[in-house]
Structure 1
């Protein structure tokens, strides 16, 4: 700091320019006027005042420099940022559970169909048919896959009780070139004796339950296959007959084959 004040004073002294005109005027006034008593030269008396003024100016400059330096060195204050406070979370209520639909007290419960029950739609009995008797229900039809050269007669037999005796007979009228080509049933083959023969113009398929075997309650199927003369064959004279026995006693059904 002292070096800086000294430098400033030196620069001020070097920059000072004496007023020559003023000095000459004072010399001339002194020569014309009465003699004056000796006093301390004005230069000697004014020097302390000039020094004090210079020191005061230097102090002011130094103070200003310090203030400027302080301002320059002080880092700018950073703005204070207040962190945003998120609003308190509001717990969402779970959706209300939908109560189960109340049962309609005025509506009767739907009963499950009985196991092994025969179909609701049954052929209308006629003088020559009896599709239902006791625990038996039956329906005969010509298979939909029959052709103009070949046909299959199907018999669906449903029993509500186990059968201890059963004989099923399919009769196919001889309408021209009717010849056996095979047969089958849904029950085990070893439980039946099977015969196929033609008698009195009728091709007869017969399944007889072997002694000691039992037919379970339920739906079963029997089928006879045969060739015939070319063309659409009429099954009007074909028929079936079933004789059976269960715990409730004997029962028999019969009927024809619808296309």
Structure 2
């Protein structure tokens, strides 16, 4: 921290004059709502913790203006700490965070996600289509349906034999997640395979823009990972 910034911090803390009446009124309203007796006011003298809180806010403003992200923390003289968190930025300092884009081809594996055309105003089916140029010795397919209004699972299927996979459905981080895991010792033959998740949703057309899928596989000892959304692609 530069000497100039230290000087500005000291000046901000020393010069700040909190609006005592307004702050005390807010505290009294909160204590009354909680059933506690408000602390009597003493004219002309602000409570120590009010002075500290006001000075902390002023220091935090200086830190924000200087581009520092750390919180300002001061002691109120009674063993307690008053902290002023830095402002929340709608865009991270280093620019917007972005997820990796779709990668629909990797090695022998190709993929596509699409909403089934037989979906209707109350129900939908999302299809993950995989094309394997070679046999796969391991495979995990994950379909993530954003939990928009009314979304709940109603079923799932795959074109491969059901006893070849361990299948689970769960809610996770705001998504309805369908997961198919190839059992140990089983293989997926080369060819085209479909994995589908079915679900109800609120009446009307549903936006699938936040839905995603991922498929992780191994073929000939080499890993392959594909992922995408539900904008139809062709091959």
Calculate the TM-score normalised by the size of structure 1. Answer: 0.51
1:197 to 141, 162, 170: 170
Q: Which runs of 4+ in 1 moved over 4 A?
A: none
* Partner SS, residue 185 of structure 2: coil
| Whole-angstrom distance in 1 between the partners of 2:217 and 2:188 | 10
| Whole-angstrom distance in 2 between the partners of 1:240 and 1:129 | 9
| Whole-angstrom distance in 2 between the partners of 1:218 and 1:145 | 24
Which residue number corresponds to residue 187 of structure 1? 160
* Partner SS, residue 163 of structure 1: coil
Q: State the shift of 1:258 in Å.
A: 2.5
Q: 2:116 matched to 1:143?
A: yes
Which residue number corresponds to residue 230 of structure 1? 203
* Partner SS, residue 190 of structure 1: helix
Q: State the shift of 1:199 in Å.
A: 1.1
Q: 2:209 matched to 1:208?
A: no
* Partner SS, residue 195 of structure 1: strand
Work out which of the two has the higher radius of gyration on C-alpha atoms and give 1 or 2.
1
Which residue number corresponds to residue 152 of structure 1? 125
* Partner SS, residue 163 of structure 2: helix
Aligned residues: 134
Q: 2:228 matched to 1:255?
A: yes
Which residue number corresponds to residue 109 of structure 1? none
Unaligned residue ranges in structure 1 (runs of 5+):
1-125
Q: State the shift of 1:253 in Å.
A: 0.2
| Whole-angstrom distance in 1 between the partners of 2:172 and 2:193 | 26
* Partner SS, residue 137 of structure 2: strand
Q: State the shift of 1:233 in Å.
A: 0.3
Unaligned residue ranges in structure 2 (runs of 5+):
1-98
Q: State the shift of 1:129 in Å.
A: 0.1
* Partner SS, residue 192 of structure 2: strand
Q: Which has the higher strand share?
A: 2
* Partner SS, residue 194 of structure 1: strand
Give 1:21-170 correspondences, 5 Å limit: 127-170=100-143
